[in-house]
Amino acid sequence: MIITGQEEDGVYEIEHGATTTIEAFEEQTKVSFLNKILGKTAQATDYYSGSGDIYWQSGTSGSWDTNHDKTSATAHQANNLYAASAKRAAGDNYMISRTYLPFDASALPDAATISAATVNVYVWSIYGQDNDGDDWVVVVQSFPATDNSPINDDYDQIGDAINNPTEGSNRIDLTTGFTNNAYNAFTLDSTGRGWISKTGWTNLGLREGHDVLDHVFVGADQNYNQLAMRDSEAAGTDTDPYLSVTYTEVSRRIINIE
């Protein structure tokens, strides 16, 4: 806003023709002036997943509870990641997949205030065949025994609980919310942003809705609710998962006023 006239009765004339009082003008410019003094600037940085990104598959047989409540499952690292619930065949033949995503965001300044963050995954296949309202995927926190080096026994560590783990992002619907053959973003809420570490690994994960809520998948035999994504082992780097963080950093500046 540029002042083009002189003060008259406590009112300034502004270039675009509007008027404001001295008090209002000072109030409206206070934040930007403080930003200049404090050096407060917004920045966005992307952190790509470590080589430890992986998924677990509970198995291809057994009851829902057997597969859901396992403490150990087979870990896979073969270019792909999956968050899924499925019924593979007639009878007790359920399958659950959970994804682990480690990000090293320790380069964030200690004084950074995180205002926004997204988990971005490249999706190459989507199934939502049990479209019952629980057909979604969400970000949870992960607790592997060793950062960036998951083992089979970490299957039950994707989330702070097996049933109803704390969710840290929006839920994205498998039938309507994803775009295939493209990056898709989960927006972290204040809880999810609080999981971002400035000193070490940020361990996140993805689980499908039936798995999160412990609701039995009731789709037909050979039906899937599944999000298939590329991992860091896939050829090239243009489909790697990444964590995008927007933050502000306040640095003190000394201004001499004469």
CA distance 247 to 258: 33
| Main-chain phi, psi angles of 66, to 5 degrees | -60, -45
Looking at residue 171, its pLDDT comes to 98
Looking at residue 251, its pLDDT comes to 59
Looking at residue 92, its pLDDT comes to 86
Looking at residue 12, its pLDDT comes to 36
Provide the residue-wise pLDDT of the chain in tens; the chain has 258 residues: 433 344 444 443 434 444 445 454 344 434 344 344 345 678 999 999 988 999 999 988 899 999 999 999 999 988 899 999 999 888 889 999 999 999 999 999 999 999 999 999 999 999 999 999 999 999 999 999 999 999 999 999 999 999 999 999 999 999 999 999 999 999 999 999 999 999 999 999 999 999 999 999 998 899 999 999 999 998 888 999 999 999 998 655 544 445
Residue 35, classed as helix, strand or coil, is helix
The two tokens of residue 153 are 């026994």
- Helices within 135-221 (DSSP H only): 190-194, 209-213
Quickly count: other Cβ atoms within 10 Å of residue 251's Cβ. Answer: 10
Cα 89 to Cα 95, 220, 225, 251, 254, distances in angstroms: 10, 8, 14, 60, 70
The two tokens of residue 86 are 């499925």
Looking at residue 43, its pLDDT comes to 92
pTM value > 0.85: no
Cα 156 to Cα 6, 53, 57, 61, 153, distances in angstroms: 70, 16, 11, 18, 7
CA neighbours within 13 Å on the CB side: how many for 146?
5
CA distance 254 to 258: 13
| Main-chain phi, psi angles of 77, to 5 degrees | -140, 90
Residue 228, classed as helix, strand or coil, is strand
